[in-house]
Amino acid sequence: MTAKKNKSNASWVHAHINDPYVKMAQKDGYRARAAYKLKEIDDEYHLIKAGMVIVDLGSTPGSWSQIAREKLSAKGTLNGRVIALDLLPMEPIADVDFILGDFREDAVLEQLQHLVGNAKVDLVLSDMAPNLSGIASVDAARIEHISELALDFAQHHLQTNGALLIKTFHGAAYDGIVKQFRALFKQVHIRKPKASRAHSAETFILGRGLK
């Protein structure tokens, strides 16, 4: 069993090292290949615009925050604000405010409120993913919970014309998550970017305009 596991790990490492998006991320200075997923979706839907307040949930290691900052700095200077939150520490990114903690806790939300003032958030990003067990029913519940956390956060902090983009996974909980998006947003788009690995069950759901 150990030999099989070691072989599987070695195969993953080999595939990861030779992944073109991993190589591109290293060359372009992004912290993870996930940067290209957000970049591709933003290129299609033009989510990130000058002057926006953007919150990046589950931000570590920070590649989505890097893209958000880059897009807000297209004319040379930052025009907008990026606030990143995570339970795990994140190496600093210039012009990005980072809050360490659980966004369900009042103390963390108070820090967020202090940063944004009375303004509502324009865009919420969530690349969060649960630890998967391999047990379908358990994993479905975890995936649904993570998605619901992002939806609840957006419902309370997004401005009316704002947008929420999350990563989720195909499985038993998927249809229910899409249904919740359609109940909350006027427009719902589902995408699997080219930067997503072909064998991955991940997909991205974008909701725009609160009902």
Strands 158-169 and 202-210: antiparallel
Catalytic residue among 37, 167, 179, 194: 167
CB-based contact 117:153 (threshold 8 Å): no
DSSP class per residue in 105-174: SHHHHHHHHHHHTTPPEEEEEE---PPP-S-HHHHHHHHHHHHHHHHHHHHHHEEEEEEEEEEEESSTTH
Cβ neighbours around 50 below 10 Å, total:
12
Token pair belonging to 28: 């372009």
Q: Judge contact between 185 and 207, C-beta under 8 A.
A: yes
167 a catalytic residue: yes
Cβ-based burial of 35 (10 A; exposed 0-12, middle 13-18, buried ≥19) = buried
Find residue 158's DSSP bridge partners: 121
Catalytic positions: 167
